[in-house]
Every structure is written in C-alpha cells, then in structure tokens.
Structure 1
Amino acid sequence: MSILMLNLLLIFFICSILFILMKFISTKMINNINKMSPFECGFNPLNNNHAPFSIHFFIISLLFLIFDVEITLILPMILIFKKSNLMIWYFICMYFMIILMISLFFEIKNNMIYWTN
C-alpha cells in the first residue's frame, strides 16, 4: 500500500471515531418540556395573546438599514476618488445621491418616517 492510501485510511478512521463520539456525547438525556418548546424573541409560543408589534419601529429599523448600507457604499467612493476619472466618479456619486433622495422623498410623502399618524 502506498503512503497516500494509508493516510486516507487513517483520516477515514479518525473521522469515523469522531463521528461516533459526537453521536454519543450530543444525545439529550432528559427531555424537558420547556427546553423542547420553541422560543421566539420573548414570546410564549403556548399563549396566543401576543403583544402587537409596532410597525413604526419596523419602518425606522428599515430606514436605519438603508442609510447604514449607504455609508458602506459612500466610503469606498471617497477612497477611489483620487484613482479614477473625475467625471465618471462625479456621475456615479450623483446617481447614487439621486436614488437616495428619491427614496427619502417617497418615505416623507407616504408618512413613513413619522412616529405619530
């Protein structure tokens, strides 16, 4: 047998032993009803009286994500400024800002950024 075959057999043997050990170690000894029930963000799944989720909070979190992604896209633009053509860089930045301004005006028009309506 070649050394390659011996290495492959050794790797297979070690992986098999580890797999068997993992199966024995990972088994649950005691099934507790509280541990077996799903848990979602503090809501009790056995109770149907869930507190209503605020849609305003959801919209504000989406706005935060949009403008957070905006920052991650603007920073490389600043770093590329010295290495690229000025006109191309200018048009890319203006296009990006126009898209952001249109989305911001759309949110303002639909009263998405106000907490009270």
Structure 2
Amino acid sequence: ELAKLGTILPAPGALMLILVAAMAVTPFLNNAATVLVMAPIAAEFAGDLGYRPEAFLMAVAIGAGCDFLTPIGHQCNTLVMGPGGYRFSDYPRLGLPLSFLVVIVAVPMLMIVWPMR
C-alpha cells in the first residue's frame, strides 16, 4: 500500500513517489486519463500522511504531462516519430534524463509553491 511506503519516506520522498507514479502510468493511458485515475489516489495518500493535497495533485498533473519515455504516451511524441525518423528506443535514451530533471526541479518547486503542512 502506498500509504505504508509513504510513512517511511520524508515529505519530499512521498511527493516524489506520487510524481513518479503518475509519470509511470501516463505511457499507458493518455494524460487526462492518468489525472482521473491518479488524482483521487494522490489526495487520499496526502490525507493519510497528514499533508495538504495540493502539492500532490499538482505532482499528478505534472507527471501526467511528462511522458518522455515512449512515443505512444502523448500524441505529440507520436506525431514527430515518423517525420523525425525516430525509433522507439530513441525516446527513453533522451527521455529518461529529462524525466530525472523534471523530478529534481518539480519536487522542491511544488513544496515551495504549495506547502504541504
């Protein structure tokens, strides 16, 4: 259960867990469906840990919009694949470092803009 894992993590770790979970779901669903699935989970997760839900919900929104690992998770990735001459394997090669960068920047910024307590 996510809440049990969240209790052993510090606040930034719990927020990062939700962000990464949303980033992991979005290649399989489109970004709007990811938000619909993950938002209630994130809000309950935050409540179970005693945090305000705003930062967690924004983490879901950011994670859902950041599918850089596959050409099928976002329509823009699919549109440029053929004309750009990209292969499926090109996406994770550039997308993984970009995903790490999003996590490194987003988690502290979310905690600054939407305080968790």
- TM-score, normalised by the number of residues in structure 1: 0.31
Select the structure of larger CA radius of gyration: 1
